[in-house]
Structure formats: structure tokens, C-alpha cells
């Protein structure tokens, strides 16, 4: 019977590689104790414990020299939005350079790719593709509208008070260069099409989908983050609209349900309506409808002459 002695704090209740255990003096005999289970080649897991995506990604990449987290898994770790049918990460996506063999192990989807310096970042020490490269990696598998929406999130101006950054993940010129650097990559043509349709100013996927729905209905392209007074940075702003026709449109996601946000929303709504603007509010029901009914109502306003 193996006597269970406490693991070092760095390995307690977390998956680890045999390399990590050796580095802190854990013996091979201790690894056979009942509180650990075999996680596959070179990996040990806390027995009976559900592992989060980050933990799985960390230990699998650590056990795979030369590999980094990519594709869907990278999007999750860097908090990029994904379509509802993605993001569960039933397998962890790991990429390697072309000159190395593809990762082949249970729980991993392996890729062999060409990677240029600067296309990787790290999340708490885990090597991960940076958001621009993740966008390009996902291009072949995403519908065009989702690729546009994901791209909008990459080029959007972050809100410094809410996010730990002040610059976009990328600018359109940088993405254009990224596409040129990978001319033979699967999905690159779709990425080029998406880039043409991407705009700075959409703060969420639904805002992008609403803009695309308006344009698909042969309405003019709306202005994003439209301010009531364009010369006053503190003036109330709607998500999108048409200044020429005095039409403002706001998409209300889940964060609009907080009391503080509702108070701000009421003041914004009153400001636009008080200034004589036609004011429309959309929500998840409109999104599920493809914004068809909302677009129909907008067409019946001053846009009828368009």
C-alpha cells in the first residue's frame, strides 16, 4: 500500500506533468497513490476532480514541448466571443510548427501551422495564440457573419475603466498584413472578405449582427456609437443609428439589467427622445428573430425614402 504524503503546494489539487513533479522532488512511487489518476502520457490528475478548461490547456501544453494553445481554446482563454455551438472545448486545441509532428493524444485536437514571431502571447504562463492570429485560425470554420463579429471585437476600442488594456488587440492594417503573411492558409479568403466588412465601434456580437441586418435589408450603413451631440464626448450615445434621419438604435444585453445601467439607460433614452429622435431598442428576442421585425419598424420611419 502506498502511503499518501501531502504533495507540494504547487501541485496540490491541480493537474501536473511528470517534469513538474520531478522538479519539486516528488517520487515515482508517490505518483501511484490513490489521490492521483493517470491523465495520459506524462500527465497526472487529482482523482475525481473536474478540470476547468484553463487547467486542461495548461497541463496539456506543458506536456507537449513546442506546442501552444490555439483555435477555439485560445479564444476561450483570451475571452474572445464565440458562436453558441463553440466554447465548450471538449478537446483542447494545440498547434505546433510544421517541422514538428502533430500532437496526438486523447483530449487534444492537434494542428501543424506556420507561425510568425509576435503571433503568440501567454495567459498566466500558458502559451496561446494572440487574438489576431486566433481570428485567422478560426476563419475557415466560422460563418462569415461570425467572423466579422469576432473581428469587430478585435479592432474595437476597449473601455479602460472596465478592461485591463487601452489599445485594440489589432488595427485593420495589422490584420491586413497578417493575411498577406499567410497567403496559403485555409480560410484566408474568407478572412479577407470579413476584414472589408469589419468596423470599429461594435461592443458586442449582437451589435455587429444588427448592423449587418440593416445593411442586408438594403438600408444605409449606420453610424456606430452615435452621439446625440457629436462635439460633446460626454453626450449620450446609442449603439448605432442614422444622424441624417435622427434615428438611434440600442441593443440591450444582459448587463443592461443592473440598476446602475438601467438608470444610465433611462437618461440616454430620454435625451434622444427629447431631442426628437426616433429611438429603437433591441434585445435577445430581436436577435433570435434575425432583427427582421425591428428592421421592418425602422423602415417605416423616416428611412422610407431611402
Rg, the chain, Cα only:
24
State whether 112 and 215 are in the same domain. Answer: no
Q: Is residue 138 part of a domain?
A: yes
Residues 59 and 191 reside in one and the same domain: yes
- pLDDT, one tens digit per residue, over 170-179 is 999 999 999 9
**CATH code where residue 289 lies:** 3.40.960.10
Same-domain status, 115 and 189 = yes
> Which of the listed residues 181, 197, 213 is the one where a domain comes to its end?
197
Indicate if 264 and 280 belong to the same structural domain: yes
Same domain, 212 and 295: yes
Note whether 92 and 191 are same-domain residues.
Answer: yes
Grid coordinates given for 226: 452615435
Distance in Å from the first CA to the final CA of the chain: 81
CA distances from 137 to 56, 80, 86, 143, 288 (A): 20, 13, 14, 13, 27
Report yes or no on 1 lying in a domain. Answer: no
**Residue 72 lies inside a defined structural domain of this protein:** yes
For residue 306, name the pLDDT band (cuts at 50, 70, 90).
very low
Report whether 222 contacts 241 (CB < 8 A). yes
Same domain, 101 and 183: yes
Range of the domain at 161: 54-197
Q: pLDDT tens, 43-67?
A: 888 888 888 999 999 999 999 989 9
Q: Classify residue 225: in a domain, yes or no.
A: yes
94 phi, psi to nearest 5 deg: -125, 135
The answer on 138 and 16 residing in a single domain is: no
Per-residue pLDDT at 266: 84
Burial class of 150 by CB neighbour count within 10 A (0 to 12, 13 to 18, 19+): buried
Reading the block at residue 50, the C-alpha cell is: 473536474
What grid cell was written down for 256?
Answer: 443592461
- Asked whether residue 167 falls in the same domain as residue 215, the answer is no
Q: pTM for this structure?
A: 0.87
Residue 3 inside a domain? The answer is no
Is the same domain home to 150 and 234?
no
Residue 4 in domain: no
Alpha helices, DSSP H, located in the chain: 18-23, 53-62, 71-77, 131-138, 144-155, 172-181, 188-197, 205-216, 259-274, 284-288, 292-299
Domain membership of residue 143 (yes or no) is yes
Whether 2 is in a domain gets the answer no
Is 277 found in the same domain as 231? yes
DSSP 2-41: ----PPPGGGTTS-EEHHHHHHTT--TTGGGSTTEEE-ST
pLDDT digits (tens, 9 = 90+) for 248-297: 999 997 555 555 666 777 888 899 999 999 999 999 999 999 999 999 99
Q: How many domains does the chain have?
A: 3
- CB contact at 8 A, 265 and 252: yes
Which of 179, 197, 215 is the C-terminal boundary of a domain? 197
What pLDDT is stored for residue 305 in this prediction?
45
| pLDDT tens, residue by residue, 79-88 | 998 888 888 8
Q: What mean pLDDT is reported for the chain? A: 90
From 146, 169, 197, give the residue that closes a domain.
197
Q: Are residues 123 and 218 in the same domain?
A: no
Amino acid at each position: 500500500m502506498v502511503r499518501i504524503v501531502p504533495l507540494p503546494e504547487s501541485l496540490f489539487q491541480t493537474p501536473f506533468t511528470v517534469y513538474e513533479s520531478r522538479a519539486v522532488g516528488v517520487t515515482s512511487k508517490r505518483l501511484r497513490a490513490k489521490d492521483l489518476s493517470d491523465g495520459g502520457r506524462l500527465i497526472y490528475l487529482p482523482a475525481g476532480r473536474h478540470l476547468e478548461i484553463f487547467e486542461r490547456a495548461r497541463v496539456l501544453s506543458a506536456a507537449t514541448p513546442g506546442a501552444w494553445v490555439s483555435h477555439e481554446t485560445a479564444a476561450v482563454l483570451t475571452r474572445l466571443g464565440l458562436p453558441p455551438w463553440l466554447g465548450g472545448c471538449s478537446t483542447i486545441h494545440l498547434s505546433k510548427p510544421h517541422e514538428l509532428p502533430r500532437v496526438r493524444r486523447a483530449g487534444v485536437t492537434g494542428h501543424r501551422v506556420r507561425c510568425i514571431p509576435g503571433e503568440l502571447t501567454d495567459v498566466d504562463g500558458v502559451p496561446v495564440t494572440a487574438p489576431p492570429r486566433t481570428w485567422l485560425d478560426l476563419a475557415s470554420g466560422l460563418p462569415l457573419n461570425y467572423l466579422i463579429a469576432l473581428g469587430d471585437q478585435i479592432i474595437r476600442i476597449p473601455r479602460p475603466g472596465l478592461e485591463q488594456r487601452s489599445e485594440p488587440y489589432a488595427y485593420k492594417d495589422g490584420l491586413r498584413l497578417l493575411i498577406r503573411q499567410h497567403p496559403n492558409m485555409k480560410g484566408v479568403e474568407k478572412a479577407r472578405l470579413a476584414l472589408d466588412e469589419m468596423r470599429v465601434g461594435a461592443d458586442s456580437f449582437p451589435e455587429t449582427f444588427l448592423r449587418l441586418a440593416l445593411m442586408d435589408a438594403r438600408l444605409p450603413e449606420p453610424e456606430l456609437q452615435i452621439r446625440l451631440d457629436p462635439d460633446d464626448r460626454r453626450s449620450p450615445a446609442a449603439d448605432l443609428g442614422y444622424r441624417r434621419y435622427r434615428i438611434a438604435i440600442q441593443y440591450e444585453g444582459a448587463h443592461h439589467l443592473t440598476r446602475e445601467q438601467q438608470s444610465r439607460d433611462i437618461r440616454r433614452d430620454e435625451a434622444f427622445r427629447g431631442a426628437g429622435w426616433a429611438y429603437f431598442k433591441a434585445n435577445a428576442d430581436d436577435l433570435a428573430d434575425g432583427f427582421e421585425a425591428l428592421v421592418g419598424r425602422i423602415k417605416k420611419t423616416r428611412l422610407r425614402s431611402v
